[in-house]
Amino acid sequence: MINLVIQIGGRMPDTRDFEMETYKAVGMVRDYVCAQCWGRLTTSKVPNSRNLKVFCPKCGEDRGFVTYDYKDRRLAESALEEFEVSRNLASAMGMDLKN
């Protein structure tokens, strides 16, 4: 699986790019999250079509998607960075932190 923001042809997708057949939309909702807020995706029916539109209910359309694996890896990296920053700040301030 690709762990990057989905881009179409080197450009950010437009609204039509998020319209897809039902089985593809279900897979997107299952495997991806919003690239902006990392929230769950949802679908809606496209008028006069058999397709569904995939989007983030918080951020709206045109935000892109990332995989759950990417989100989990970034959260783990952020937690490690927080620990390192706290330790380095305490050391710079002459404080002794017991871990």
Q: Report pLDDT digits (tens) over 25-83.
A: 888 899 999 999 999 999 988 888 888 888 999 998 777 889 999 999 998 888 888 88
The residues, ordered by sequence, that sit 6+ positions from 24 with a Cβ below 8 Å of its Cβ are none
Q: Which parts of 1-99 are beta strand (E)?
A: 19-20, 32-34, 42-45, 52-55, 65-67
What does the pLDDT read at residue 9?
43
Domain that holds residue 40: 15-92
Task: Judge contact between 80 and 74, C-beta under 8 A.
Answer: no
Determine, yes or no, domain membership for 9.
no
Check residue 47 and give left, alpha or beta (phi > 0: left; psi -120 to 50: alpha). beta
What does the pLDDT read at residue 83?
82
User: Is the confidence at residue 6, as pLDDT, over 50?
Assistant: no
Total of domains in the chain = 1
Determine, yes or no, domain membership for 10.
no
